[in-house]
């Protein structure tokens, strides 16, 4: 896997100089006494780095070492702390605790300019290029002192080395997304960085170009630069990583050498190995399937397709949920679950396909119509979609049904608050009806949202997308207790979650989603852990090549 660097390599030549300038006290930063190979010494080291945002612990004592010449992948779900970590490395944010060292020297960037000067370059998910300007002019931004022809020569040299061509003089906005990304990467490499950080670089790329990008990452690493690739896509890691660190809830769960590592093992450490205490679940889970089997089909999803703006297919799903059944939808994030949830909750229109509720077409119904039909939805993003943080708890509970408390346009707030207090007591929410929603803890906010949706008149189907995200164990219990209670009333439930254990223990049936398709349909229960885990990782299908058609066949 390691490629020896050629002596003629400009990057490689730059590196030793940089390293030589600082007699690296490397021994202090290497905890494990293993003597690294010469070209594999640490470029960037994080020691016990922590960062809090108010109540939220974004990073919790993170230790990370990215070595020179390696592609180091940082794997984690949304909200695991990847972006915060990138921001700290690139000087956008400062850590609360811990230290960073770059090439053995203390590294405390206060702003991105410091990071660039120190030799850290970053390719952002959203490109930082000026669309009207040519690639060359973009290169010159912030490098006013360097001559244009010199920059052009250097850029051409880099392109040649990595085996692609770039239109240096055309406005960047006329280039394809893949070309723009290469411009961005070349721009970063012009300064011979010691570390190149790529934040979700493949998110914007159509699949055929992903392989090319990963190959480029390999080549950059081979030239002596350390590459930190942030992603939540497993397939890419298998293709490119030398080592992978798994970030979960702000902690580095493990760092794995990718030689001989199993992808599905990575999935498990990404979504959580320790089983959260779901004592009540275990008891009820065994009796559930029998009851579910008797239910009739309630929600039918047929060939539901969605493409993103780049024309990449994100979703192509067919499945059904019966009355009185909890169906779990498992999958590594970014495999189409969010799109499916948005379509089912009326917030997104699909490209084609059908959604039927009790035989009635609801494919393009608005959230309002869906609520009338008895479809409750707990949104994935509680703060952006699920609730109004600045409105009071009572207002949040009854925003969709204000008619109940309105006479001649006049809102009877005291009656609304009383009704809200009753709901809060019933659902054991700790909070005041008149207090702003933002004053409640995450768990209590989620309970309020769930109470609102469960309180819909004539509730028939409940969609719960990531209902336990950011909640502590107790709150998780409460949320699932309510969901099970709804099942008892004959409500059909679809739970989408990235917490695999929770999903397995609460669901009667688990569907596995991979690359937008349902690739597995297995009964619930923790004993299915291995099987679902391997389905989630695509089961060795070469996912970079295509859109998982093979996976779909395998599932069929």
Report the residue from 391, 526, 547, 550 that binds another protein according to the rule CB under 8 A. 391
Q: Does 410 bind another protein (CB under 8 A)?
A: yes
Distance (Å, rounded) from C-alpha 250 to C-alpha 483? 28
Neighbours of 553 (CB within 10 A): 10
Residues 370-389 that bind another protein (CB under 8 A): 371, 377, 379, 384-389
Q: Does 105 bind another protein (CB under 8 A)?
A: no
DSSP 146-180: S-HHHHHHHHHHHHHHHT----SSSBGGGS-HHHH
Distance (Å, rounded) from C-alpha 140 to C-alpha 151? 8
Report the residue from 110, 435, 473, 549 that binds another protein according to the rule CB under 8 A. 435
**Nearest to another protein of 285, 460 (CB atom):** 460
Q: Nearest distance from residue 468's CB to another protein, in Å?
A: 19
Question: What are the phi and psi torsion angles at 545 (to 5°)?
Answer: -70, -45
Task: Pick the piece of the chain touching another protein (CB under 8 A) from 15-23, 214-222, 366-374, 535-543.
Answer: 366-374
Question: What are the phi and psi torsion angles at 200 (to 5°)?
Answer: 45, 55
**Nearest to another protein of 316, 453 (CB atom):** 453
Q: Nearest distance from residue 412's CB to another protein, in Å?
A: 9
Q: Nearest distance from residue 409's CB to another protein, in Å?
A: 5
Q: Does 56 bind another protein (CB under 8 A)?
A: no
Report the residue from 153, 282, 411, 473 that binds another protein according to the rule CB under 8 A. 411
**Nearest to another protein of 279, 384 (CB atom):** 384
Residues 444-473 that bind another protein (CB under 8 A): 452
Report the residue from 28, 174, 406, 418 that binds another protein according to the rule CB under 8 A. 406
Interhelix angle 473-488/279-293, nearest 10 degrees:
20
Distance (Å, rounded) from C-alpha 185 to C-alpha 88? 20
Q: Nearest distance from residue 306's CB to another protein, in Å?
A: 18
Q: How many residues does the chain have?
A: 556
Contact 232, 78 (CB under 8 A): yes
Residues 285-344 that bind another protein (CB under 8 A): none
DSSP 249-285: TTEEEEEEE-TT--HHHHHHHHH-SSPP--HHHHHHH
Q: Does 434 bind another protein (CB under 8 A)?
A: yes
- In Å, how far from its chain's centre is CA 45? 24
Q: Does 418 bind another protein (CB under 8 A)?
A: no
Token pair in block for residue 370: 């869906």
Task: Pick the piece of the chain touching another protein (CB under 8 A) from 219-227, 401-409, 496-504, 514-522.
Answer: 401-409
Residue with tokens 């170009």: 209
Residues that bind another protein (CB under 8 A): 345, 347, 366-368, 371, 377, 379, 384-392, 394-396, 399-403, 405-406, 409-411, 413, 417, 432, 434-436, 438-439, 452
């Amino acid at each position: 896997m390691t490629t020896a660097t050629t002596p003629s390599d400009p990057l490689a030549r730059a590196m030793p100089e940089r390293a030589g300038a600082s007699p690296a006290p490397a021994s202090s930063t290497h905890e494990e006494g293993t003597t690294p190979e010469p070209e594999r010494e640490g470029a960037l080291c994080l020691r016990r780095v922590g960062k809090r945002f108010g109540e939220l612990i974004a990073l919790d004592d993170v230790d990370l070492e990215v070595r020179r010449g390696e592609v180091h992948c940082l794997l984690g779900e949304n909200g695991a702390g990847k972006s915060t970590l990138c921001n700290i490395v690139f000087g956008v944010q400062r850590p609360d605790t811990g230290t960073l060292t770059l090439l053995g020297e203390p590294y405390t960037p206060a702003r991105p300019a410091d990071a660039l000067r120190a030799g850290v370059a970053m390719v952002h998910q959203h490109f930082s290029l000026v669309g009207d300007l040519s690639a060359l002019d973009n290169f010159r931004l912030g490098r006013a002192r360097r001559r244009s022809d010199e920059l052009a020569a250097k850029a051409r040299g880099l392109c040649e080395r990595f085996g692609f061509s770039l239109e240096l003089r055309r406005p960047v906005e006329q280039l394809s997304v893949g070309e723009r990304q290469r411009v961005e990467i070349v721009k970063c490499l012009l300064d011979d960085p010691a570390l190149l950080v790529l934040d979700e670089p493949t998110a914007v790329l159509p699949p055929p170009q992903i392989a090319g990008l990963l190959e480029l990452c390999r080549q950059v690493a081979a030239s002596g630069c350390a590459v930190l690739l942030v992603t939540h896509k497993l397939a890419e890691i298998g293709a490119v990583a030398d080592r992978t660190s798994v970030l979960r809830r702000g902690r580095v769960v493990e760092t794995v050498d990718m030689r001989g590592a199993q992808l599905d093992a990575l999935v498990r450490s990404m979504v959580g190995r320790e089983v959260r205490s779901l004592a009540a679940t275990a008891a009820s889970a065994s009796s559930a399937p029998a009851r579910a089997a008797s239910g009739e089909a309630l929600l039918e999803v047929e060939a539901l397709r969605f493409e993103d703006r780049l024309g990449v297919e994100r979703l192509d799903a067919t499945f059904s949920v019966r009355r009185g059944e909890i169906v779990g939808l498992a999958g590594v994030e970014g495999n189409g679950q969010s799109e499916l949830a948005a379509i089912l909750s009326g917030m997104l229109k699909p490209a084609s396909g059908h959604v039927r509720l009790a035989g009635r077409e609801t494919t393009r119904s608005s959230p309002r119509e869906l609520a009338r039909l008895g479809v409750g939805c707990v949104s994935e993003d509680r703060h952006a979609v699920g609730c109004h943080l600045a409105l009071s708890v009572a207002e949040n509970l009854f925003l969709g049904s204000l008619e109940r408390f309105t006479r001649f346009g006049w809102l009877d707030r005291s009656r609304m608050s009383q009704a809200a207090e009753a709901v809060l007591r019933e659902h054991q929410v700790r909070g005041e009806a008149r207090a702003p929603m933002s004053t409640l803890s995450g768990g209590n906010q989620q309970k309020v949202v769930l109470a609102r949706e469960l309180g819909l008149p004539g509730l028939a189907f409940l969609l719960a997308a990531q209902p336990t995200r950011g909640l502590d164990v107790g709150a998780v219990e409460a949320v699932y207790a309510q969901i099970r209670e709804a099942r008892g009333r004959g409500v059909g439930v679809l739970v989408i979650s990235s917490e695999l254990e929770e999903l397995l223990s609460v669901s009667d049936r688990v569907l596995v989603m991979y690359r937008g398709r349902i690739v597995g349909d297995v009964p619930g229960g923790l004993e299915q852990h291995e099987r679902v885990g391997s389905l989630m990782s695509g089961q060795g299908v070469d996912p970079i090549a295509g859109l998982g058609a093979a996976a779909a066949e395998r599932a069929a």
